[in-house]
C-alpha cells in the first residue's frame, strides 16, 4: 500500500505567507478604493482615519522630546 501522508497538500496557511505590512497595505488600498467609489461606510472610515492620523501626527509633533 502506498502512503499518502508524504504527498499531502501543505494547506492554505502554509502556502499563503504574507507579511503583516503587505496585508495592511492591501486593506488600506481596498478602503481607499471603496471610499472613492462612494461606499458610505468606507467613505466615513477613510475620513475618520485621515482625521485620526492628522491628530496623532500633530500630537507627536507638539510633544516635547526627552
Cell of 20: 503583516
Residue 8 pLDDT? 66
Q: Structure pTM? A: 0.49
Arithmetic mean of pLDDT, 33-42: 80
Residue 55 pLDDT? 92
3-state secondary structure 14-58: HHCCCCHHHHHHHHHHHHHHHHHCCCHHHHHHHHHHHHHHHHHHH
**How many domains is the chain built from?**
1
Cell of 60: 507627536
* 13 dihedral zone (left: phi>0; alpha: psi -120 to 50; beta): alpha
Residue 51 pLDDT? 93
- Is 18 in contact with 27 (CB distance < 8 Å)? no
What's the domain range around 36? 5-62
Amino acid at each position: 500500500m502506498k502512503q499518502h501522508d508524504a504527498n499531502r497538500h501543505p494547506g492554505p496557511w502554509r502556502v499563503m505567507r504574507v507579511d503583516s505590512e503587505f496585508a495592511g497595505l492591501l486593506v488600506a488600498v481596498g478602503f481607499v478604493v471603496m471610499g472613492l467609489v462612494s461606499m458610505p461606510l468606507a467613505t466615513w472610515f477613510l475620513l475618520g482615519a485621515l482625521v485620526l492620523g492628522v491628530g496623532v501626527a500633530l500630537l507627536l509633533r507638539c510633544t516635547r522630546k526627552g
